[in-house]
Chains A and B, each alone.
Chain A
Amino acid sequence: MSDQEDIEIKQENQTVHDTDEKDKKHEDGDIKDTCRISSLKTLGPFIAAKENSRNTVYLSDVPDICKDKPCMLGVDEAGRGPVLGPMVYGISYCPLDSKKALEDLGCADSKQLTEEKRDVIFNDINTKEYATSCIGWAVEIISPNTISTSMYRRSKCSLNEVSMDSAMGLIQQAIDAGVNIAEVYVDTVGPPEKYQEKLLKRFPSFKITVAKKADSTYPIVSAASICAKVTRDHALKVWKFPEGLVIKDNAFGSGYPGDPVTKRFLADHIDLVFGFPRLVRFSWSTAENALADKAYDMEFDEPDTDKPKYAGTKLTKFFKGTTKSGEVIRDECRFFKQRHLGNVMDF
């Protein structure tokens, strides 16, 4: 008898729970789904659901037409210079004969566009039928933690290498997703020749153009640039500090070292031991200098740069081992020395 009661109660609870969930889903609509980015509104929640100390890659659905027709693909980045937040690499692609869609979107030099305009275009890319039917995009959010640790590796990995690896990784993912790439356009900060050479080596069958300010010349690069820039802006907006800091409206400025708001943020949030929260790129000289004055000095066991050169046994070796008065100096036993063991009388 009592068993049955139990079951009934359970069933009741189940149904109540179910309707609750349905209601929630209904209310929040597509925002609840943090796996796909289907509009500007879903970008923030998507980023917020990811770990911000790691890199995140996102690929939009590939329009069917991009699998058949030869496509052009643009590559650009956002947030290379700032001392705060992630650097974002973006690609976008569309068939060679779909230039019209890019023009209709208003893709132009992303730095000339206002933030609002960029947001509108990003939303259009993901919602307007004329765009979603022929334009695809992808971004990689390179976390500030990854940037610092790459640049501080024993064998240093420059920001340029991090950038190129990210760009090539995204292109590869587009290929793997079935995009029929014919032409690639890349915006670069550094010298274009080296970059072009490296890309051609990896992707010999594409027509590759690397140029400075490509985002104002090629609309497809501009579209990539908008995706990257909007993603970076949102990444900063939804940044949650695992360190437990709460900054009102995440107002830490542009992240550029010259920005007074950013400067104040850096000055006000120094931890004596750990330095900064990991929103900060430790490898930037701005960050290094700020810590040099205000935090505990910290010294790492650096890689051995000058290796001892062996040039045979030195003749003078045979005169060592005794003092002038003839006392024998005893070397510490090698067995212990190699194991970092020694006598300690005082500590």
Chain B
Amino acid sequence: MSIVLDFNGKNLAKSKTMDLHYLPAKIDGDGEANVEQYFNNYTREATECGNGILTNSLRGYPLVGEQLKVPEQYRGLVLQETEKSINKSIDRQLRLTGVFEEFTYWNYDKVPSNGDAYRQALLMADVGQALTQHISEQDLEAEIARNKENTKEHA
């Protein structure tokens, strides 16, 4: 089984930019939502908590959040699958419904910090970078030379 991303990477710039919220809740539903009237209408700045800190609430639960950019050199994509086949051997197809450069990150009654799972998980970007970086012959030799140098010093 494979997953097909059904869009042309060159057209990303022309795609619709979306207004997204990262919510600290699991919502057991899928569909349209009156985000503008029921939520965005109530977003307020809470400068007393820090620069750029926002407040709102969801079903009465207090939220504290901030506007975040996707990591540098990354692009935010919203993909949708019309129908997930029960048959696992059939190829899956994901369509592009929008792109985003930033989104609003929300915590449940907690000012966003480096302790947030989201911020910690972003380290994946660095790990990915390290794993995929091209290493040339010269880089390798330089590294070996450095290691030798170190062992000598310690000896």
Residues of A bordering B, CB below 8 Å: 53-54, 145, 148-149, 151-154, 242-244, 271-275, 277-278, 281-283, 287, 291, 296-301, 338-341
Complex Cα gap A278–B120 (Å): 33
Q: State whether the Cβ of B138 lies closer than 8 Å to any Cβ in chain A.
A: no
Q: Is the CB of A153 within 8 A of B109?
A: yes
Q: Is the CB of A300 within 8 A of B57?
A: no
CB distance from A266 to the nearest CB of B (A): 14
- With a cutoff of 8 Å between Cβ atoms, the chain A residues found around residue B121 in the complex are 339-341
> Of all chain A residues, which has the CB nearest B123?
A339
Main DSSP-derived SS at the B contact region: mixed
Q: Is the CB of A148 within 8 A of B57?
A: yes
Enumerate 6 A-B pairs (CB-CB under 8 Å) in ascending A order.
A152-B61, A274-B39, A277-B38, A281-B60, A298-B25, A301-B108
CB distance from A288 to the nearest CB of B (A): 9
- With a cutoff of 8 Å between Cβ atoms, the chain A residues found around residue B29 in the complex are 272-273, 296-297
Of the candidates A151, A274, A291, the one having the most CB atoms from chain B within 10 angstroms of its own CB is A274
Q: Is the CB of A152 within 8 A of B37?
A: no
Chain B interface residue number, banded: 20 to 34
Q: Is the CB of A53 within 8 A of B42?
A: yes
CB distance from A294 to the nearest CB of B (A): 11
Complex Cα gap A112–B18 (Å): 55
Known A-B contacts A274-B38, A340-B120; A298 and B60 likewise in contact (beta carbons under 8 Å): no
Q: Is the CB of B60 within 8 A of A152?
A: yes
Known A-B contacts A271-B38, A273-B38, A277-B38; A300 and B108 likewise in contact (beta carbons under 8 Å): yes
Q: State whether the Cβ of B135 lies closer than 8 Å to any Cβ in chain A.
A: no
Q: Is the CB of B27 within 8 A of A273?
A: yes
Complex Cα gap A277–B57 (Å): 12
Q: Is the CB of B24 within 8 A of A278?
A: no
- With a cutoff of 8 Å between Cβ atoms, the chain A residues found around residue B26 in the complex are 298-299
CB distance from A243 to the nearest CB of B (A): 5
Q: What would 5 more interface pairs be, CB under 8 Å, given A274-B39, A275-B59, A282-B60?
A: A149-B61, A273-B29, A273-B38, A275-B60, A298-B59
Q: Is the CB of A298 within 8 A of B57?
A: no
Among B45-95, those with CB < 8 Å from A are 57-62
Residues of B bordering A, CB below 8 Å: 24-29, 31, 33-34, 37-39, 41-42, 44, 57-62, 108-110, 117, 120-121, 123-124, 127
- With a cutoff of 8 Å between Cβ atoms, the chain A residues found around residue B110 in the complex are 154
CB distance from A219 to the nearest CB of B (A): 37
Q: Is the CB of B38 within 8 A of A243?
A: yes
Q: Is the CB of B38 within 8 A of A291?
A: no
Q: Is the CB of B28 within 8 A of A298?
A: yes
Complex Cα gap A145–B56 (Å): 9
The 4 closest A-B pairs by CB, nearest first: A282-B60, A148-B60, A296-B29, A297-B28
Q: Is the CB of A243 within 8 A of B37?
A: yes
> Of all chain B residues, which has the CB nearest A276?
B59
- With a cutoff of 8 Å between Cβ atoms, the chain B residues found around residue A244 in the complex are 37
Complex Cα gap A296–B29 (Å): 6
- With a cutoff of 8 Å between Cβ atoms, the chain A residues found around residue B57 in the complex are 145, 148-149, 152, 278
Q: Is the CB of A339 within 8 A of B59?
A: no
CB distance from B57 to the nearest CB of A (A): 5
CB distance from A87 to the nearest CB of B (A): 14
CB distance from A202 to the nearest CB of B (A): 23
Complex Cα gap A297–B59 (Å): 11
Q: Is the CB of A243 within 8 A of B60?
A: no
Complex Cα gap A162–B110 (Å): 20
- With a cutoff of 8 Å between Cβ atoms, the chain A residues found around residue B60 in the complex are 145, 148-149, 151-152, 275, 281-283, 287
Complex Cα gap A209–B108 (Å): 39
Complex Cα gap A40–B11 (Å): 61
- With a cutoff of 8 Å between Cβ atoms, the chain B residues found around residue A273 in the complex are 27, 29, 31, 33-34, 38
Q: Is the CB of A296 within 8 A of B25?
A: no
Q: Is the CB of B39 within 8 A of A338?
A: no
Partner of A341, one of B27, B38, B42, B123: B123
